[in-house]
Structure formats: C-alpha cells, structure tokens
Structure 1
Amino acid sequence: MTANESSFDETVVDDPAARVLYWVLFPVLGAGLGWVVQWIAGWVAGLPVAPMKGVFRAIDEAPDPQAALVALGAGFLLGLVVTFLAIADMLVVRVGSGEVTLTRGGNKAKERRMSRGDITGVFFDRKELVVLGRESRELAREKTDLSKKDVEAAFTAKGYPWLAAGDPHRDEFRMWTRLDDDLPGVAHGLLIDRATAIEKGRGEEAAELREQLLKLGVVVRDEKKKQYWRRDRRELA
C-alpha cells in the first residue's frame, strides 16, 4: 500500500504490492488447479454419476505428458483471467490541491473527477470511500481495500474535510422495501430494478442504476444485499 506525492502536486494512494501478488498468485493457483483436475480425472470418470463426466473421461484418456501440459496451461490462463478481473476492480485515489480523482482499474472512461469546491466531506463507510458534496449529495461511493490510514492522510494533508465520525447523514437512511410508498414512481422502479441486479450479482448494472437515482435526489447505500435510501437536500424530480 503506497501514498506517494506526484510531480503534479497530488498524492496517489495505490496498492502496487497487491498487483504483483495477483500476477504471481492467481496464475500459480490456476496451474495448480489444472494439475489437480488432471490428477483426479480418472477417479471422477470412474464414478457412477458425476457432473461433466465426459470431459473428465476425455482428460483421463488423453496421452501424457501432453494432457498434463494442457491442464497446467489451461489453469495458468484461467489464473491470468482472474488476475485481470481483480486488477480491473482496484481503486486508485489521487488527491490534489484543487481536485480529487478516483480511477478503477486504470479505466479512464470510468474515471471520476471532483472539484475541491464541490466537496464538503470525505469518510469511510465500512469498506466504501464516500465523498459528500453540497446539499448532502454523494459525489462518490467506491468500495476499496486501500489502507484507510493512507487515504485519510492523503485527504487531510491537502486540507480536505475528513469526517472521522463517519456519515453525518447515516440516521437519515431507511431500508427500502417493495411496499415503500414514500418515493416517486420512477425512483421506486429504479430501486426494484436495482434489487434484481444485486440479487443476480450484476454489479455494473447496480452501479449505473445508483447513478440514475442520485440524479433524482435519492442516495443509496447497500448492506448485506439490502438497499437503504435517503433524500438529499434537493426536491425529488
């Protein structure tokens, strides 16, 4: 975990050690898994009933050492895929004197920039970094495993308002249910769609729906696959 001062007067909080670990660990584990699959293929193929029995029989009947090399290679490639996915989900925080930038996986298309003048508070809500704006809006809510100490130090060093006590609006959140009648139809419908996305593990869709809700003045936080909402200080559309 590192927090480095860049040449552009910004502190960068990143975790390069985790990236190196991912590049080494996941491919090795994948290759190991491939070896295990090749090793147990004969046993699985001999069972009376087993899932993918034909695949295991084909692996068992393949000639050595080609079969072992293919199994190791396939597992290694699977590990690389997992590595790419893990790195694509890593958050990098850049804190400058006049601007904050949050980038996930180095994807510029999903980069979030926030002007210092728009930021009224920053805090951690469990493993989520939250940036508050005017009228109690949430400018960002990003899950991250970055060091909380390093992130806090980066913001406080630049004079941003760090809220050590956490969310000042936490008591305003209420759990959403399908019978909730205190929301306009559009927001209620988006929360229904978002509940389905969360249930089915479609994280990107849930994030997009959350952005739509923010535009309507509805702030959403998740806890154990349940949605909690509050209004910001604007009138709902």
Structure 2
Amino acid sequence: MFEEYNKRNKAIVAALELAAEGGWKAVTFPAIAMRSSVSLADLRREFTCKTDILRAFQAEIDAEVLAKSKPATPEQSPRDRVFDTVMTRFEAMTPYKPALRRISAALCCHPAEAAQLIPSSLAAQYWMLAGAGAKLDGPGAGLRVAGLASIYCKVFGVWLDDDTPGLDRTMAALDRRLKNGEEWLARAESACESFCRFACGFMPRGWKRRERGEATEPAAGGASANPAGT
C-alpha cells in the first residue's frame, strides 16, 4: 500500500505514525509537515482539515481491496463474497491498527468530528459491495449499503481488540452479523416490493405511457379531445 509515495501519501503515512505515537490530538499539520517533509502549502493543496486525511486513507484502502478482489464465482454465495471482501479490508488495515485504535477512541469522544466521516464511510461500503459483486441497483441498494455499514462499524470495534493471529474473533463476529443482516435484508426487500405494488395500484391510468412520452389515444369517433373545439 502507498506504493506511489507522493506528497499526499507521505502526509497520510506521517499522520498515522503520529496518531500511533501520541493519539489523534498529536496529529497536526505542522507536525505532519515536519514528519513528512511536505510543506504546509502543499498540505493545504491536498487537505482542508484533519478529517480529510482519514477520508484519503479510506480511499486508499478501498483501492487496495478492489485491486485484490476476484471475479464472483457461482460456487460462492453473496454472503461469502462480502465476507471475503471485508476480511481483505481488515487485513489491509492491519499495519495501521495501533493508529486506528487511538483515532477511533478519540473520535468516540467527538461525535461531531466523527460524523464528518459518514459519507466517505458509506462510499467505502458501496465499493466493498461492488468488489464483492453484490447487486447495487433497485430499491434494495441503499438498504444493502446502510446495512453493511452498520455491520462493519460493529465488527470494526471487534477487530481493533482482536490480536489473535487468524483474527478468529473478527471472523466469527462478521459471519454472525452478515447472516443476521442477510435475513433482515430479505424481509426488508420483500416488504419494499409489496409496498411498491400496493402504491402502483393508486397510480392514474396511462402514467406509464406518459413517462415514456407516448401519445394518448384520440377521443372516440376521431373528435378532438378539447371540448371547446380550439
């Protein structure tokens, strides 16, 4: 990871090293500049605030996981593919676990700062599902992304404290929550489809033709549909 050692990546690595040593509070742009030999002017070009560094780190992890993703095979269930993709993500983050542990502890005490990561975290889960070959169209797409984000958040906490060589605790927690999530998603999608069919019953006739831009049928006897004849 971070094979392309450009200014942006240097700053990310420096920030993670500082976080591992002194916590999130120790991560300041002057400290990053000193550690990475990247000027403050260049850091400003790359980042607006400290949270941008975490978003950039998430994007780098996304890219590494997707690069390692393999095409879906019929032998694997969707849940197994998602399981493998998420575990690949945890493996990619392992070298940075000390930093992530301290950053996570700090953000738990600063919910407003943590909330800034919600959009990028949801985007990360979207890409994890894409890498796993999951279905990402239709009304269930948002449910899948939000559901995996919830599962990942809970398992991430387990992973931070899991020092077993094979990440046994993490795998057990992920497998259990994915199974429960799969069952919940099936029920939610079924309810959503039933609601859509119910709602369609209240649509006025001809709405599908109007959406496609098709002309309405002329009035009987070829008379104008305009009662005033204009």
Q: TM-score normalised by the shorter chain: which range applies?
A: under 0.3
Higher Cα Rg: structure 1 or 2?
2
* Greater relative CO (CA pairs within 8 A, separation 6+): 2
What TM-score results when the alignment is normalised by the length of structure 2? Answer: 0.23
Q: Which has the higher strand share?
A: 1
**Structure with the bigger percentage of helix:** 2
